[in-house]
């Protein structure tokens, strides 16, 4: 962690697959409450870290396992979305790590994905997914009348 001037303050995570450990940090996001979600691609897990404001240190706040090859994470309200390779998909979780929904990506045709390497949502609710293997980013616009519970939000 760096301060506003770029001065080193602290860091977190050691090598491994246990609580507080990472093999390859691949995606990271911070929830509005300050909880840090780190996608550990090679550890095939998502690690959660909480900062202690007094000491500017981070402690393990949880480990979510059971991924094939997780790549990115987005937190939106009470939902956490993780892109996972294997059969390309995005999995929706609640903030406690309970799986709620799986959205499989097409692997054939012009809108196919080989991987959802990075994902982001704009102010209009459009999802942009970059595919590192196909070398492109796709814009996905929600269908009119789509169930809002199944949409990745900002």
pLDDT digit string (tens) for the chain, length 154 residues: 778 899 987 788 889 988 999 999 999 999 999 899 999 999 999 999 998 878 778 899 999 999 999 999 999 989 999 999 988 999 999 999 999 999 999 999 998 998 889 999 999 999 999 998 999 999 999 999 999 988 998 7
Q: How many CB atoms lie within 10 A of CB 116?
A: 24
Q: Transcribe 15-64 into DSSP letters.
A: ESSSTTEES-EEEEEE-TTS-EEEEETTTTEEEEEEEETTTTEEEEEEEE
User: All domains of the chain, ordered by start, with CATH?
Assistant: 14-150 (2.120.10.30)
φ, ψ (nearest 5 deg) of residue 150: -105, 10
Q: How many CB atoms lie within 10 A of CB 94?
A: 11
């Amino acid at each position: 962690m760096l301060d506003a001037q770029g001065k080193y303050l602290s860091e977190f995570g050691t090598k491994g697959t246990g609580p507080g450990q990472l093999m390859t940090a691949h995606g990271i996001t911070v929830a509005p409450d300050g909880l840090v979600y780190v996608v550990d691609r090679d550890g095939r897990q998502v690690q959660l870290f909480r900062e202690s404001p007094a000491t500017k240190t981070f402690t393990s706040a949880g480990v979510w396992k059971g991924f094939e090859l997780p790549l990115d994470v987005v937190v939106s309200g009470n939902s956490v979305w993780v892109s996972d390779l294997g059969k390309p998909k995005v999995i929706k979780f609640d903030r406690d790590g309970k799986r709620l929904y799986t959205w499989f990506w097409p692997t054939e045709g012009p809108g196919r994905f080989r991987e959802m390497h990075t994902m982001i949502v704009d102010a209009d609710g459009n999802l942009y997914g970059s595919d590192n293997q196909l070398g492109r980013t796709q814009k996905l616009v929600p269908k009119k009348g789509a169930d809002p519970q199944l949409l990745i939000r900002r």
